[in-house]
Amino acid sequence: MQIVPFAPGHLGALDLQPRQTLYRPYMTATVGSGLAGGSAWSAVHAGRVVCCAGLQPIWPGRAATWALFSKWFTPPLFLRLHLFVRGVLDNAQANGLRRIETQIDPEFPQAVRWAMLLGFEIEGLMRRFLPDGREMYLVARIGTC
């Protein structure tokens, strides 16, 4: 697996995992157009884009992170991606980010577990959050800066 700088075309090449297909209509409008001020990357394996992710500044000291996964992303690829993302988050907080936040589907235990492994904590349940009315956890990783 290679981790490369994100390119907008990666979103179109991403064959989303079933838990994230809900986001397809919003990807280009929200994720694709909102990356100008942030940092983003893609994971490519066997010629396929298997993940697009990034860190988007909200205001000084606060950022949101996002990740979209392909159905082709498999557990053997996880450790390399985890170590890379952990390094990005650690570096961002060492350079002044006090708060990194994201939303996690509470019905997707693998995502909840990964967020906890990355140092995020659940702050609350956002009711009727998604376009289909489902809930999401608000999770955050709080730095010491």
CB neighbour list of residue 87: distance below 8 Å, 6 or more residues apart = none
Do the beta carbons of residue 139 and residue 102 sit within 8 Å? yes
pLDDT (tens digit, 9 = 90+) per residue, 80-93? 999 999 999 999 99
Do the beta carbons of residue 54 and residue 41 sit within 8 Å? yes
CA-to-CA separations, 85 to 46, 48, 104, 125, in angstroms, rounded:
20, 19, 16, 24
Please state the length of the chain. Answer: 145
d(CA 2, CA 47): 10
pLDDT (tens digit, 9 = 90+) per residue, 100-125? 999 999 988 989 999 999 999 999 99
Confidence of residue 47 (pLDDT cuts 50, 70, 90): very high
Nearest to 59 by CA among 26, 90, 97: 97
Q: Is residue 48 left, alpha or beta, with left meaning phi > 0 and alpha meaning psi from -120 to 50?
A: beta
What pLDDT does 142 receive?
A: 96
